[in-house]
Amino acid sequence: MNGCKDTLAHIHEAAMREFLSCGFEGASLRKIVKSAGVTTGAFYGYYSSKAALFAALVEPHAKHLMKLFMDAQLGFQDLPEEEKPAHMGVESSECSLKMLDYIYDHPDAFKLLITRAQGTPYESFIHDMVKVEVEATLSYMETLRGLGQKVPEISEDVCHMLVSGMFSALFEAVVHDLPKKEAVKAYEQIERFNTAGWNALFTEG
C-alpha cells in the first residue's frame, strides 16, 4: 500500500512540475512518467490520460473554493431583503479572506488552475465565478430598487468588467508569489476600495 502511495506521490510531483512549466497543452506525459520514475503502463494504472491527471491536481481545490464562494452567495440571498443593504460587502469580504487562506494553503494547485489550465474544462473557472457574481450584483440592484432606493442603470458589461477585476486581484497575489501577510493586507484594502466604489455606483447622483 505504501508503495502505491509513494508512486502516486511521485507522479503528482512530476506532473505539478511539468504542468507549471509548460501548461496543460504543452506538458509532455512522457516527461511526467519518466520524471516520476514509473513505466507508462504503471501510470495508466492510476490515470486514463493527461487530462485526468491534471484534474486530480486541481479538482478538489476548485470544488472547495467554489463551495466557499457559493455558500457566501446563498447566505446573502437568503437574508430578508430589507437586511441586505446592511450586509453588502460583509459576507463577500469574509468569504474572500477565507478563499485567500485556502489559495495560499495550496498555491501550486491554484497557479495551475488560473494560469495553466488552457485546453481543460478548468480554463473557465474564474469566468464561472464572475458570471455568478454579476448575476448576484444585478439582482441586488433590483432589490435596492424594490426597497425604494434610486439606483442608476449599470450595464451587465460594466458589472462584468468590475467583477472580473475583483477576482483577478484575489488570484494575482499567489500567481506572483506575494507573501501571504502582504496579500491579506492588500486584499483588505482592495475590498474597502471595491465596497466604496459599488456604494457610489448604487447611489443616484
With cell 494547485, the residue in question is 109
Across 153-171, b (16+ Cβ under 10 Å) vs e yields eeeeeebbebbbebbebbb
How confident is the chain (205 residues) per 10-residue block, as mean pLDDT? 77 97 97 95 94 98 96 91 84 87 96 96 94 92 90 91 89 91 90 86 72
pLDDT of residue 2: 55
What is the predicted pLDDT for the residue at 31? 97
pLDDT for 204 equals: 62
What pLDDT does residue 93 have? 82
Angle among Cα 70, 178, 129 to the nearest 5 degrees reads 20
Specify the pLDDT at position 198: 86
Length of the chain: 205
Q: How far apart are CA 177 and CA 69, in angstroms?
A: 23
Contact 127, 179 (CB under 8 A): no
Domain ranges of the chain: 1-48, 57-201
Q: Measured between alpha carbons, how far is 33 from 104 in angstroms, rounded to an integer?
A: 28
Q: What is the pTM of this model?
A: 0.89
For the domain made up of 1-48, give the CATH fold.
Arc Repressor Mutant, subunit A (1.10.10)
Q: Which residues of 2-36 are buried (b: 16+ CB within 10 A; e: fewer)?
A: eeeeebbeebbebbbbbbeeebbeebebeebbebb
